[in-house]
Amino acid sequence: MGILLSKGNNIEVVTEEGTNTIEGTSIFIKGTDIELTNVYVRVEFKASIDGRTLTIYPSVFLNQYEFTQGNELATNVNTNAFEVAILDTEIQSIDTALSYSIEKFISYGFNATTT
C-alpha cells in the first residue's frame, strides 16, 4: 500500500478584510520547474516499545513501477521523518501509519489518498 500524492486544492479564506485564496501545494522535481501531476509515496515506520508512538519515514517515487525498481525521486515534498502519538483505540500498524501520513501531507497543502 502506498499514497497517491497530488497538488492540493485551493482554499478560500474569508476574513474581515476580504477573501484570500491560498493555493494548493504543487509537486516539483527538485531543482527544476517541472511540475508533476502526482507522485507515489511509500512509508516505512518504527513502532516504539511504548505501544503508543510511531515514527514515520516517507519516500517519494514517480509512480508505483519506479518504487518496485527502487528509484526514489527528489521533489519538493517534505520527506523528513515525523513522530506521532496514536490514540488508545489505535494499534501500531501500516494502516495507522498511512492514515497519519495522509493527514501530514494534507497539512502540507497536498491531496493524498491511499492506493
64 — phi, psi (to 5°)? Answer: -65, -35
Counting beta carbons within 10 angstroms of the beta carbon of residue 89, is it exposed (0 to 12), middle (13 to 18) or buried (19 or more)? exposed
Domain boundaries defined on the chain: 3-114
Contacts of 91 (CB under 8 A, 6+ apart): none
Counting beta carbons within 10 angstroms of the beta carbon of residue 4, is it exposed (0 to 12), middle (13 to 18) or buried (19 or more)? middle
Q: Which amino acid is at 47?
A: A
Closest CA to 90 of 99, 80, 81: 99
Q: What is the pLDDT along the chain (115 residues), one digit of tens a residue?
A: 899 999 999 888 888 888 988 889 999 999 999 999 999 999 999 999 999 999 999 999 999 999 999 999 999 999 999 999 999 999 999 999 999 999 999 999 999 999 9
pLDDT computed for residue 85 by the predictor: 97
